[in-house]
Amino acid sequence: MPNLIKLGKSLLLVALFVASFIAVAQLPANPDPGNRLGRLAQADQLWLAGDRQAAEQIYRAVKGAPVSTTPQPPAFSDPSQLSVAGTVLWRLAQQGQQLQLESAELVPLQMLTSEQPGFIPGQLRYAAALQAYEKPEEAIKALQAAVALYPDQAELLQALVSAHAGQEQWLEAALAARQFAMLQPEHPQAASFQQLADQYFGNYQAALRQQITGNTIANLITGILGYVITGSLFGPLTAIDSTALLLQGEGAIGTTLATQAQDRLPLIISSPLVDYIRSVGNKIAQASGRTDLKYEFFLVRDERLNAFALPGGKIFINAGAILKTNSEAELAGLIAHEVSHAALSHGFQLITQGNLLANLTQFLPLGDLATSLVVLNYSRSMEEQADLVGTRLLATAGYAADGLYNLMQALAKERGPRSFLAWLATHPDTNDRLNYINQMIDRDRYNRYAYEGVTLHAQMQTLVTAEFAQKPPKPRGNS
């Protein structure tokens, strides 16, 4: 009897082993990284050969289904599509408008835009009411929030541009108009918004000239004090020099700063790596539509993933960005984000908002410049614009539209040294960014299953590793 029990246990163990073996055999095989890269490389070859359909099939098989997002409520203009509660709020707001009672109009409109943000007439009426009751800044904030939700609604953008112009915020008006033209190039009103952007940027330059001319002496005193206090990080750049640069525009400022940066940073000058960075950068820059900017791309001998943009299209990228990205599309996503800052004149805007010398020191910090690349202190809305426009540029240039998304997702999961995440550390909450980028890709139907560029990127990673194995050259300014 004991032998039968022992035999039964043995048979049971064998049965369990066989069952587990069969179960494991039926599980889908997880491809190793080499196999994944090999399949992506095959898809890249098909893509470059023009067989986009076959390439997309492989991209889809490798990358899988995209992460789902919360559906955005659709935009609509017909009041009959409002919910019962929305209809009541809309009627109360109209009654409050007729009675010219501030709270009777603003309260229901605020509730309406919160509950049913897709009702565009409600968004427009809420902003108009805020302006009518002398709350222009609140009106601008409301419109900015609405435009962020519905960037393809020209009426909202027109209202935002007009609100900025009404406050003589010419640069902000120009940037808002330019953002629409860049995000919606096929829209019937894209050209008119680009014209508005040029017009308001001209107004901004005229106002800046007048402001500088009227405050040259005060600026000179401030500049001398700044030189004494800071030791003039950029050499003897006086307030008179600052005035001349501002009058010449963002291109002149960018060229001056880029020259100073080249003297202080350990750049990789002559290498296939530089050609690679410039090739990727020029594809993105061409898609930006800013033909007035002279884009230049510089490669810094720094192992960390980081990049920053100077005004006028001067973009500096760490060589570590090549090592720590998984494909050319991810690297292009990083570059597209920085190109967008330049194309939207974000750096120029920040510099001209305050004392020039004080703002210039934010580009390159005091101390070890070779390992301390930073970006300007962009606002949250500027970072969001750069993410959205950058994703648009990425897709327009023919890369997989989720390149920037995938890069940020990979970095968010990284648990290594904080310096590895230097680029993310200077930006808003990563989960928020991932969400709105993903929503934009879905909403505008950008192609996730396009060129990844893994083969050449892997070759460049090998060259970067060899570069870091060599003795680093001294920056030009230290020789």
pLDDT digit of tens for each residue in the chain (479 aa)?
Answer: 445 444 444 433 333 333 333 332 333 333 344 588 899 999 999 999 999 999 999 999 999 877 666 667 899 999 999 999 999 999 999 999 999 999 999 999 999 999 999 999 999 999 999 999 999 999 998 998 788 778 789 899 899 999 999 998 887 788 778 777 876 778 898 889 889 988 988 887 787 667 655 544 444 444 433 433 333 333 334 444 555 555 567 788 788 888 888 888 899 998 899 999 999 999 999 888 777 789 999 999 999 888 989 889 999 999 999 999 999 999 999 999 999 999 888 887 777 665 444 444 444 433 333 333 344 577 787 888 899 889 989 988 999 999 999 998 887 775 444 434 444 555 557 788 888 899 888 877 889 999 999 999 999 999 999 999 987 766 666 54
What is the model's pTM? 0.67
DSSP conformation class of 470: S
- Render 107-161 in DSSP notation, one character per residue: HHHHHHHHH-TTBHHHHHHHHHHHHHTT-HHHHHHHHHHHHHH-TT-HHHHHHHH
- Render 183-210 in DSSP notation, one character per residue: H-TTSTTHHHHHHHHHHHHHHHHHHHHH
Domain boundaries, the chain: 79-211, 242-468
Q: Which two tokens stand for residue 1?
A: 């009897």
Contact call for residues 280 and 328 (beta carbons, < 8 A): yes
- For 34, 41, 298, 430, the CA distances from 457, given in Å and listed in that order, are 14, 10, 17, 25
Residues 6+ away with beta carbon under 8 Å from 171: 200, 201, 204, 345, 349, 352
DSSP conformation class of 445: T
- For 1, 13, 17, 18, 19, the CA distances from 6, given in Å and listed in that order, are 9, 11, 17, 18, 20
Q: Is 399 helix (H, G, I), strand (E, B) or coil?
A: strand
CATH class held by domain 79-211: mainly alpha
Contact call for residues 280 and 332 (beta carbons, < 8 A): yes
Rounded Cα–Cα distance for residues 151 and 208 (Å): 29
Residues 6+ away with beta carbon under 8 Å from 263: 475, 476, 477
Residues 6+ away with beta carbon under 8 Å from 38: none
